[in-house]
Structures are given as structure tokens and as C-alpha cells.
Structure 1
Amino acid sequence: MDLRIFTEPQQGASYETLLSVAKATEDLGFDAFFRSDHYLPMGSADGLPGPTDAWITLAALARETKRIRLGTLMTAGTFRLPGVLAIQVAQVDQMSGGRVELGLGAGWFEEEHQAYGIPFPKDKFARLEEQLAIVTGLWETEAGKTFSYEGTHYQLTDSPALPKPAQAKLPVLIGGHGAKRTPRLAARYADEFNIPFASLEDTATQFGRVRAALTEAGRGEDDLVYSNALIVCVGKDDAEVARRAAAIGREVDELKANGLAGSPAEVVDKIGRYAAVGSSRFYLQVMDLDDLDHLELISSQVQSQLS
């Protein structure tokens, strides 16, 4: 079971804070550091000191870390032109020595688009499909050849399709709860399917849809990594769990119902139940980025039981 640390910097985090979390992620033996791609906070958070850009952050962390994988859950397709995104991700992959993964989604948070003057089209999913075709097509184009694409939303003519990622196959993550189009896209383009903030029952249902789509597309059901993203709140005892829940403005019972919360034993047990329906990787959504002791506890008492 891979455990990855997943951060939401739009809620309030400087680059220095993210660097501290990424270094702890590496030092404590976690598999990867991932971050969201948002420009406005959600809920009651003030978001101070202000947003950080996902790919600028990951470029810096690529030079500051040595082992951990780096990526996004999920890069908003509305934020970047696909040709530019392919260049950015390939460059960061080179900077990291081949440790980058791209999670790409359609984008959904309309208010952040309004706040920063970013177009918010109605046909986001159709655009996402073209974006995936372009990004993967550019990377897969043989060196010395060109890539062209004629779509409804994007057109590329004789692109040199450079630079290339350091990895021969840079992993692409697709995720979500959609019943039809999302599994189909995953079957066509993804190396990993992620379902965020889902119950055991919903996870099993969605993984089943993806497996069916893989079969229909002529791929094996086990061609993908299947993963979950859930908020995490672990404590040595009830008092510590309650303290950590209060620090992020949540209730313990709600966190236990909808996330990975409680004692290390409780969390290990719940992860095991998700593993039974096919999940082999967890993105642990850590909301208090100043509480590095939380990561140490997860490493020593949860991760140690799963390896």
C-alpha cells in the first residue's frame, strides 16, 4: 500500500511551508508529495498568504527533493493550454530526474476563475478529452517527428513535440465520480484512476465501472493503479484526535465517517477495507501543514503496519 501526502495550499500555505512538508514526506518514507491546483480558498479559510501555483511549486520541489514522486490532484484543465502544460510538466520531470506524475481534470471551481480572469467554459469535459489527447500525443511523438492535432477546441500544426519528459512513460492520473465519461477517459489515457472523498461502497462501484471500461477498450482490468484520496486525522489517543480535528475545524465523528480518522489501529483497519475493494494507493489529505508531528505519527504507526 503506497501512502502519499496530499496538500491543499490554497487554504493557506507559503512555499516555505510546502517545502517543509515535502521534506518531511521524503524523510519519513512516504511515497509522494502531491498538491491541489487552486487559486482561492474554500470554506472559512482566509487563504493567507495567498495562492501558490502548482507547477511552479513542483518545479522548485523537484530540485529540493531526491526520492519522492511529485504531482497534482488535479491540475485544472481550464488553467493552462495543453501544449504549454505538456512543456511545463516535461520540464519539471526533467528537473526531478523523472519523478513527476500528472493528474489532470476539467476544472470546477468557478469563483477562482472569476477572481483571476480565467475563462470558465461550459464544455469543460470535451476540452479535457482534447487536452489529454494533446498532452499524451506530444510526449509520445517520436523524437525528430512532429505532432499535429485538429480538434474542436484546440489545433496544433507541426509541433516539434519538445521537450520530452525524463520518464519513458510519465504517469497520467484521471479521477472522479462520473459514471460514464470519466471511466471511458481513464480507460483510454490513464495510468492511475483516483476517486476522491468516496465511501467504500462508492469506491467499489466506481472501480467496477473503470474495470468495465478497460475491458471494453481492450485493456486489462489491472492495467491501472486504483487509488483513493481521503482526509486524514490520526492521534495516539482520543484527546489527540480531537485536538487535530478541532485544529482544522472538523468533528471527530464526521472525520471517522468520511475520512481516515482515529487511532493508528482504526486507520489501518479502514485502509484495509478499501484495499479489499481494489485500492492500492492512498492520498492522505493533510489540512494542518504546520503539524509535522502528525506525519511522523502516520509514518511510524500507520505506514509501518502497511509495508
Structure 2
Amino acid sequence: MVGREDSEGADRHEHHRHPYRSPGVLAAELATQDHLSNGRLNVGVGAGWMPEEFAAASVPHLFPRRHGHVRETIEIMQGIWSNELFEYHGEFADFPLSGFGHKPIQKPGPPIYFSGLKDPRRSAKRIAKYGLQGWIGIQDSPEDIKRWKGEMKRELDALGRDFPEGFDMCSMIWFVITDEPIDQSPAGKATNLLAGTAQQIEDRLKSYKEAGLTMPLLWPPFRDVPTSKTMDDLKRLTEEIMPKVNAS
């Protein structure tokens, strides 16, 4: 679960990058960040879903072909990280045998997590093909996590593969700690926002853990909550709630 520590006592970092970045430049940037974090970088990749983001990045033409682009991005990053010299000839990138500077501290490279929100089959195929170390959802319920993991497991079984050792199931979930209890039933919850007293959030996170979630990526609300309240919630989450969840 989030807040866990690695063997050196430092929290791991989850680092997300958008699908419209140049793969070669991105690979070099991430290798540098792996050094700056002393080998504590995780990389999250996804195809994206909002055409406006691609337009804002001046690459609107990539949106209809974004799934192919993210495949090439994964292949190029892994190739650059694990080879002193590397060449690639694809639809979106085409370069001769080249060197790309320093390699990441982690070998053969930082763990890559795939964000797939619609198709368990596509997610399973990419996990199997590229040896990815995690899956990232958004605002999932415990039932969603159990369903996604089960469907990806069936697809991997059909491919004659299994989840890599230490595979993480993640979900980006917004949370807020309240003074009064919140109705946690489906009828009382308009969204999957994790809201409730500290005890309710602890209980809910334990339900996520039982469903197979290993790394909840907990975010404070973007607006309508004072900064002081957000900082207090984050402190209570890391010091009071997560130790109990991790110990369960």
C-alpha cells in the first residue's frame, strides 16, 4: 500500500508522463531522475484519453494513433535503458544506432506501470509483452479492483503468462478526512471519492487491500479545501491511517 518503504527506508516515487512526449528525450530525462532519486523512480505510462491535451501539446495528429505511439514509447525507453547503443525504426520514431548518455540506476530500468482504463485484454497483453510491473486505474472501487485484476489474470492465463513477481495494482483516488461519518453505502456515495472519518478511511483502504490493491495513489482534492486542511489530512494519512492499513 502507499506509504510503504523500500529496503533502504525511503518511499518509492510514482512518476507519470504523458503520451505525447518524445520517447528518446523522455528516456534520457527519466534516467536522470532515477539518479536524482537514488534509484527510487517508478514510471507510469498511458495512451491518454483527452484530445484537448494532445492539441495543447501541438500533436493533435497523435490522438487517433495514441495506442501505437505508447507502444513505441515503451519499446524505445526499454531499449535505451538496457543498451549502450540503440536504434529504432517505427511508425513514430526512426533513428540509427545511437548513444543516449547515462543509464538509470535501476537495472535494466525503472519499473514501468501501465495506465489502462477500458480494456483489460490490452492491459494484459502489454504487461506480458513488456514485463510491466504494475497497472494504474483511477477512482476505482474495491469491486472494480477485484474485477480488473481477475479479468487481466484470465487474459494472462490465455497467453500462458502470469503477473510479474511483485506486480502492483494501483488506483488514483481523491480523499478527504471528515469530522462526521459519511454514508459509505452505494446509495450514499455519489462518486468514488474516499471521504469519511479517519476510521472510515482506514476501513475502506483495508477493503481495497483485500480486493488486491497494493498501491493506492491518494490525492487531496484539487479545490474547495483549504491548504491547511489538505496538509493536515496528508499528515494524518501517513502517520495515523496507513501504518494500521499496512499492518492489517
For normalisation by structure 1, the TM-score amounts to 0.67
Deviation at 1:147, TM superposition (A): 1.5
Contact 2:19 2:70 in 1 (8 A): yes
- Partner of 1:88: helix, strand, or coil? helix
Aligned partner of 2:45 in structure 1 is 104
Aligned partner of 1:262 in structure 2 is 196
Deviation at 1:131, TM superposition (A): 1.0
- Partner of 1:93: helix, strand, or coil? helix
Looking at structure 1, the residues matched to 118 and 160 of structure 2 have their Cα atoms a distance apart, in angstroms, of 21
Kindly provide the amino acid, as one letter, of the partner of residue 270 in structure 1: R
Aligned residues: 229
Looking at structure 1, the residues matched to 43 and 164 of structure 2 have their Cα atoms a distance apart, in angstroms, of 20
Deviation at 1:198, TM superposition (A): 1.6
Looking at structure 2, the residues matched to 147 and 287 of structure 1 have their Cα atoms a distance apart, in angstroms, of 42
**Structure 1 gap segments, 5+ residues each:** 4-29, 33-65, 242-252
Output aligned runs, 1:28-107, within 5 Å. 67-72=10-15, 74-78=16-20, 80-107=21-48
Matched, 1:192 2:151: no
Show CA shifts across 1:48-99 (max 9, x none).
xxxxxxxxxxxxxxxxxx9333333x31111x11111100000111122111
Contact 1:187 1:213 in 2 (8 A): no
Contact 1:230 1:283 in 2 (8 A): yes
Output aligned runs, 1:246-285, within 5 Å. 253-254=188-189, 257-285=191-219
Kindly provide the amino acid, as one letter, of the partner of residue 154 in structure 2: A
Bigger shift: residues 177-186 or 124-133:
177-186
Identity of aligned residues (%): 24
Contact 1:110 1:120 in 2 (8 A): no
**Which of 156, 177, 184 lines up with 2:117 in the alignment?**
177
Contact 1:138 1:162 in 2 (8 A): no
Looking at structure 1, the residues matched to 163 and 52 of structure 2 have their Cα atoms a distance apart, in angstroms, of 38
Kindly provide the amino acid, as one letter, of the partner of residue 198 in structure 2: P
**Which of 128, 133, 155 lines up with 2:70 in the alignment?**
128
Aligned partner of 1:302 in structure 2 is 241
When the two chains are superposed, the root-mean-square deviation of aligned CA atoms in Å is: 2.5
Looking at structure 1, the residues matched to 125 and 174 of structure 2 have their Cα atoms a distance apart, in angstroms, of 27
- Partner of 1:125: helix, strand, or coil? helix
Aligned partner of 1:2 in structure 2 is 2
Residues 158 and 216 (structure 1), Cα distance of their counterparts in 2 relative to 1, 3 Å cut: farther
Aligned partner of 1:249 in structure 2 is none
Aligned partner of 2:153 in structure 1 is 211
- Partner of 1:2: helix, strand, or coil? coil
Residues 116 and 174 (structure 1), Cα distance of their counterparts in 2 relative to 1, 3 Å cut: closer
Deviation at 1:205, TM superposition (A): 1.7
Aligned partner of 1:159 in structure 2 is 98
Kindly provide the amino acid, as one letter, of the partner of residue 2 in structure 1: V
Deviation at 1:114, TM superposition (A): 2.9
Kindly provide the amino acid, as one letter, of the partner of residue 123 in structure 2: T
Kindly provide the amino acid, as one letter, of the partner of residue 137 in structure 2: I
Contact 2:133 2:164 in 1 (8 A): no
Contact 1:175 1:186 in 2 (8 A): no
Deviation at 1:275, TM superposition (A): 1.6
Kindly provide the amino acid, as one letter, of the partner of residue 100 in structure 1: L
Deviation at 1:187, TM superposition (A): 2.6
Show CA shifts across 1:190-234 (max 9, x none).
111122112222222211222234334554335311122211111
For normalisation by structure 2, the TM-score amounts to 0.81
- Partner of 2:169: helix, strand, or coil? strand
